[in-house]
Amino acid sequence: MTRSPTGPVVMGVMALELMAGSTPRNAALTAAEASALAEKLGRDLASLVPQVRDLDLVMAAAHFDPAEALRPGWSLHQRLRELHQRAPGRGEGPRVIAFGADETGDIPLPLQADEGLRGGLLRVVPFLLAGDDHTVDAVGERLESVLLETGMAQPDTALLAQTAFGAQIEHARYMTLHDLAAMTAMQYEHGGLGALWPVIETALVAPAEEQWLDAPPEPLLRYANGEVHIALFEPMAWRARYAPQEATDERLERAYQHFQARQQQIAAVLEAHGIPVTFAHCPGKTDARETLQS
């Protein structure tokens, strides 16, 4: 179960798989649309786990890149949790609470997605379930066991999301953040970024620990203290570590450029997950691991 580190909540998303070439017209829903979608989301979850009805359901009626939901401290859901704590009606029984655009159509800061991460074919709408510890534990464990197999949104829920967001949605399903992380890890593996996932996972679930990526031909990097330091090799130092057998200047230059592009790709993925990146200059005769530890 994926829970908030600061209290008893279950964190999940409605994952919207868009048709190729489709871009949502609306970044967030109106108050009426948000309320309607939250009601249907709650109904769908309760059909799988009836105890959901005993918990507060809180939804941000805006869509985000999956990486925004998989950031240290689960920051997207923590924003939602803070909004929940300020919502009226506490102690008056289970509530369905949805946050969307304001009356003028403006999107409040907590619901604003990262502009640099728009354009992907998978968008996620975050929600959380909050209540007493025992019920949260029971619901969370059950959702972890059933959503991957039976978590498709009902057709009328998917249609409402499609109409309200103004997007062509191929599939709409529910996931816990654990499910989303597992799916992302698999996608990274298929996309040639599998070696990077342990670094991201450490930042998510064990941020106080240290994690290295030290597996040539991949760039050398170290995660510690909430940030990543990537070794920035001078050409001769890079050649000694990565290309001692390359003979021609042309092949060396091409390989070095490819390596630099890979560094930038990895840095961009880490930053999308909210993990700060610093490049550490590593001169030719220094130990790069020692440099990253200094």
pLDDT in tens, 59-76: 999 999 999 999 999 999
| pLDDT for residue 277 | 97
Please provide the DSSP assignment of 131-146 as one string.
Answer: S-HHHHHHHHHHHHHH
Q: List residues bridging with 279 in a β-sheet.
A: 230
> Does any domain span residue 2?
no
> Does any domain span residue 4?
no
Co-location of 29 and 110 in the same domain: yes
Separation of alpha carbons 285 and 33, rounded Å: 61
Separation of alpha carbons 114 and 173, rounded Å: 22
| pLDDT for residue 285 | 67
Domain of 271 in residue numbering reads as 195-293
**Count: domains in the chain:** 2
Could you tell me the pTM of the whole model? Answer: 0.92
| pLDDT for residue 290 | 87
> Does any domain span residue 105?
yes
Co-location of 243 and 143 in the same domain: no
Co-location of 86 and 181 in the same domain: yes
> Does any domain span residue 184?
yes
Co-location of 117 and 168 in the same domain: yes
Co-location of 170 and 112 in the same domain: yes
| pLDDT for residue 130 | 95
> Does any domain span residue 75?
yes
Co-location of 174 and 241 in the same domain: no
Name the token pair of 211: 């994690």
Co-location of 138 and 272 in the same domain: no
Co-location of 104 and 200 in the same domain: no
Nearest in space to 262 (alpha carbons), one of 202, 195, 210, 209: 195
Q: How confident is the model at residue 1 (pLDDT cuts 50, 70, 90)?
A: very low
122 or 234: which leads in pLDDT: 122
Q: List residues bridging with 28 in a β-sheet.
A: 62
Co-location of 61 and 84 in the same domain: yes
Separation of alpha carbons 294 and 289, rounded Å: 9
Co-location of 112 and 209 in the same domain: no
Q: How far is CA 91 from each of CA 32, 53, 109, rounded to the nearest angstrom? A: 24, 15, 27
Q: How confident is the model at residue 5 (pLDDT cuts 50, 70, 90)?
A: very low
> Does any domain span residue 3?
no
The last residue of one of the domains, among 171, 190, 209, is 190
Co-location of 185 and 200 in the same domain: no
Task: Quote the Cα angle for 112-117-118, to 5°.
Answer: 80
> Does any domain span residue 186?
yes
The last residue of one of the domains, among 157, 190, 223, is 190
The last residue of one of the domains, among 135, 157, 190, is 190
> Does any domain span residue 148?
yes
Please provide the average confidence, as pLDDT, over all residues in the chain: 91
Co-location of 145 and 66 in the same domain: yes
